[in-house]
Structure formats: C-alpha cells, structure tokens
A = this chain, B = another copy of it.
Amino acid sequence: MPSSVEPAQPASASAADGGDLGWALGVVFRAYLKAADRILDDLPGGPRGHQVLAAAVQGAPQSQIALARRLGIDKTVMTYLIDDLEKVGLVERRAHPDDRRHKQVVATEQGSRIWAATRQRLDHAEDQLLGPLSPADRTELRSLLHRLAERAQRIDPVADTCQIVSDITADQH
C-alpha cells in the first residue's frame, strides 16, 4: 500500500467553507441512498417506491402527477413505479370522483404495514447517517434541509419535465 502517492489532505478541502456545497450534498445524498437501498431492497422501486408508498399511507390521496411533481420523478416513471407497487398489493389506483382523469394513489392495509416497518428501519439508518452530529445538530440539519426543500419545491415543482431548464439556458449562449 504505497502511502507516498496519496496526498495527506483531500483535494477539495481547501474550499471547505466557500463553495463545494455540491460535493458535500452529493456525498451525503449518495450515502443516504446506499443505506436506504439496503433496507428497501425488496420494495419495488427502492427509495422512490418507498416515497410513493409513504405519500399514499400518510397524506390525503394524491394524483399520480401530483406525486411525480413532489418527488421529482417523471410522470412516465411514476406509471411504472405504481404499476410495480400495485402488482405486489401495496397500493391501489382509484379514479377521482370529481375528475376521472386523475387517479388517486391509496395504500392497502398491507401497504400500511410494510411502510410502518420500513419507516422504522429507515429512521434507524438515518440516525446512523447523522451519527457524527449531536442531537441538536441533527434536528437543526433536518430543519434547514426541509426549509430549503419546501422552498425549492414551490419555486420549481419539477415542471413535469425539464422544459424550463432549456428555456433558461437558451439565452445564456
């Protein structure tokens, strides 16, 4: 193991307090995904399948497109996701009484049970991910991230797909 060729300091650490927000976000997000993937291995759709299931269990019934926007998923992908969850009997589609174009996604009894169990395991995994932080810091981080996420959601609810991006980039060149 040739330690001489590995620099002692990580390359990007010098900008630790300036930029590099993207690097930290990426590392933390990937670490979360890796932990979540282990737990959600059996669940169709993995972490995203769980988020759909969570929405179906917890909140008021939502249409597929509303879910897609909130979770940052393309509406076509949402179709496949719900297909798989429905096959296993975790959620059901119901036509909205007032607008039959919308299909509400509701959880089955089994879906609720599975969600509660996996939610518990996810909580444990999240605690491990936040391990280096004090309880107060964990709460602070969760709160800050949620504030940002809610705002980002309001500003740009994924816009169904990414038309907006190309519109904006167009006048930069």
State the A residues within 8 Å of B (CB). Answer: 2, 4-7, 9-34, 36-38, 41, 47, 51, 54-56, 58-63, 66-67, 70-72, 96, 98-99, 102, 119, 122-123, 126, 129-133, 137, 139-149, 151-153, 156, 162, 165, 168-169, 172-173
Contact yes or no, A63 B5, CB < 8 A: yes
Report the Cα distance A137→B36, complex, angstroms. 27
Contact yes or no, A70 B148, CB < 8 A: no
Taking the full assembly, how many copies of this chain does it contain? Answer: 2
Given contacts A2-B99, A26-B29, A29-B25, contact A14 B58 (CB under 8 A): yes
The contact sample of 25 A-B pairs, CB cut-off 8 A, is A5-B98, A9-B59, A10-B153, A11-B55, A11-B56, A11-B58, A11-B62, A12-B55, A12-B59, A12-B70, A14-B59, A18-B123, A19-B54, A19-B122, A19-B126, A24-B146, A25-B28, A25-B145, A26-B71, A27-B152, A28-B145, A41-B172, A129-B148, A131-B151, A133-B147
